Structure 1
Amino acid sequence: MKDEKNLTKEELKERAIRFYNRYGSDLEQISELLKIRLTQLSLAYTLKNNLPPEAIKISTRVKTLSSFLKKLEKKGWPQFYYPTELVQDLIGARVVCWFVDDCVGIKSFISSSKHLQIKGEVEDYITNPKPSGYRSIHLLAEVGYDSVQRKNSDVIIMSEDMVCEIQIRTKLQDAWGDVTHEFHYKAKNAGVDNKVYEQILSQISDRLANEDKSMLTLRDAYQELADDKTKNSTREGFRDE
């Protein structure tokens, strides 16, 4: 961050607003680029593992100005020059898989991509769920993009990169996260901390985790039935291992 006097709360708000006004369209374009990169990887993964394309769903989003200002307030209005100095999920992606073992599989595909550079440690909340029962794999990746800039009277294209957050989870984990976000996450942000309710949430998450395991068993059982039916003929299945 550049050296300068400490800004007031209102000055920090104005700085954030100027950033979004100036770079908002760039952020949306980087978000679309990230979606393209991840969609290409998911198509490669589903082809390799004999899954239909819809077995992995990709979505991306840009953190809104309102969400960023709420983050600033929660952090006590720290000083910043660019919002990326404070948050690494200004652009985020969600990768939702039918089956829990594919969460690990697509994570490996993402890690091996030449277009996405993994930064720091991968947080695996599927293997080690949070106390509330939250399950997901979180990783940070640098996305390279072409930045159009003005230099004197000329327009140039500069190679830049931005760190984005990628979350990988199953459909059941995604549904649990979406529902509980509305009351648990927002309540935690408001200072509410109820261990009894959190334990109940964790128990619900555990039951859904068992259902994810049941889905794997059913998938493999159906695949065996398909193999027996088609035997030596060409077939399309859920997986090809």
Structure 2
Amino acid sequence: MRVPNVEDSSGVSRADFADLRTEFSRFMMLYQFGISELMTKVNILKDEFTHINQYSPIEHVTSRVKSPDSILRKAQRLNIPLTIDDISKNIFDIAGVRITCSFISDTYRIAEMLTSQTDLRVIEREDYIADPKPNGYKSLHLIVEVPVFMSDRVRHVPIELQIRTIAMDFWASLEHKIYYKYNREVPVELLDELTEAAAAAHRLDVKMERLNDEFAKIKALPHPDDEILEQDLPAQFLEALHLQRRAL
């Protein structure tokens, strides 16, 4: 079914055009439902970490669905036929979820927890943290298929999942603004500075990860009074304490 487009709607009856618009609206709605499903999974992990460990590796979560105009422009740029079937089979970033984490290790930890869930299927994986883009861009990119349970069928919707640290996200946000301001024709000197800033952000990530590891080691050291206090704890409390220590 061809995507409705006012510019090429000549020869299409008003009833047919209305049907096309309805089908396209359902198509867009699927991606919003897919985001809702994935966001639920992410928020469950975040709440679980917060309540059990008093700490969550997930700092922020955002989501978006591309506008119809943006989808059509990308389809035209990639020479994809303007039909719903062709667009759904060839464009995988119509819907996106971005997770911002505290530390580099957390990005992989969250990715593993999500992709190990049996109802999610990984279609693509690009590790720009281990292998950054030439301009210094870092992020873990995944395309995952999310099941959406409709009234009469189950649809598997591709969602682009980006997982990055706060420093990576700050750099990417700045880079996006600069590229937008200069309409992608960024002066060479600014590109060089962006690359240097990416290296500085990486050094900050590495330093913060090291500091966090050192803090965890110190926190795991036994307190002088621990042995005396633990003798008076009920067995179930003692077991919970040991589990919490192993999680730190």
TM range (shorter): 0.7 to 0.9
Deviation (angstroms), 1:102? 0.9
> Out of 66, 70, 76, which is 1:67 matched to?
70
1:173-212 counterparts in 2 under 5 A? 173-184=168-179, 187=182, 190=183, 192=185, 194-212=187-205
- 1:80 and 2:82 correspond: yes
Q: What pairs up with 1:76-115 in 2 under 5 angstroms?
A: 78-82=80-84, 83-115=87-119
Where is the strand percentage greater, Structure 1 or Structure 2?
1
Q: What residue identity is the alignment partner of 1:81?
A: T
Post-superposition Cα deviations, 1:146-186, rounded to whole Å, max 9, x if no partner, equal 123xxxxxxxx101111111111001111111121112267
RMSD: 3.4
Q: Which residue does the alignment assign to 1:162?
A: 157
Point out the structure with max Rg over C-alpha.
2
Residue number among 206, 209, 217 corresponding to 1:213 in the alignment: 206
Q: Is the 8 A contact 2:179 2:186 kept in 1?
A: no
Count of aligned pairs between the two proteins = 223
Q: Structure 1 unaligned runs (5+)?
A: 149-156
Answer with 79-88 or 221-230: which moved more: 221-230
Q: Does the 8 A contact of 1:99 with 1:215 survive in 2?
A: yes
Q: Which residue of the partner structure matches residue 226 of structure 1?
A: 219
Q: Shift in Å at residue 9 of structure 1?
A: 9.4
- Alignment check: 8 A CA contact 1:97 1:170 kept: yes
The percentage of counterpart residues that share the same residue type is: 23
**Correspondence for 2:236:** none
> How far apart are residue 226 of structure 1 and its match?
2.6
| 3-state SS of paired residue (2:147) | strand
Q: Secondary structure at the match of 1:168?
A: strand
- The equivalent position to 1:128 in structure 2, one of 128, 131, 135, is 131
In 2, are the aligned partners of 1:133 and 1:202 still within 8 Å (CA)? Answer: yes
Deviation at 1:47, TM superposition (A): 7.6
Query: Alignment partner for residue 143 of structure 1, among 142, 146, 149?
Result: 146
Whichever residue aligns with residue 240 of structure 1, its letter is A
Report the CA distance shift for 1:141/1:45 in structure 2 as closer, same or farther (over 3 A): farther
Shift of 1:44: 5.5
For the residue of structure 1 that corresponds to 2:150, the secondary structure is: strand
Counterpart of 1:151 in structure 2 is: none
Structure 2: how far apart are the matches of 1:11 and 1:161? 30
Is the 8 Å Cα contact of residues 17 and 65 (structure 1) preserved in structure 2?
no
| Deviation at residue 73 of structure 1 after TM alignment | 4.7
CA drift at 1:219: 1.2
Do the aligned partners of 1:16 and 1:65 also contact (CA within 8 Å) in 2? no
Aligned-pair CA distance for 1:31: 1.4
* 3-state SS, counterpart of residue 53 of structure 1: coil
Does the CA-based 8 Å contact 2:107-2:163 persist in structure 1? Answer: yes
1-side partners of 2:211 and 2:62: how far apart?
27
Question: CA separation of 1:55/1:165 partners in 2, compared to 1, >3 Å: closer, same or farther?
Answer: closer
Looking at structure 2, the residues matched to 21 and 108 of structure 1 have their Cα atoms a distance apart, in angstroms, of 33
Amino acid at match of 1:208: A
Q: State which drifts further: 160-169 or 192-201.
A: 192-201
State the Cα deviation string for residues 99-153 of structure 1 (Å, max 9, x = none). Answer: 1111111122222111210113x111111111111100111111011123xxxxx
Greater relative contact order structure (CA < 8 Å, 6+ sep): 1
Shift of 1:57: 2.8
Q: Distance in 2 between matches of 1:17 and 1:205?
A: 43
1:24 CA drift (Å): 3.4
Residues in 2 aligned to 1:134 and 1:171: alpha-carbon distance in whole angstroms = 13
Instruction: Please tell me the residue identity of whatever aligns with 1:164.
Output: I
Q: Name stretches of at least 5 consecutive residues in structure 2 with no aligned partner.
A: 10-16, 231-240
* Higher relative helix content: 2
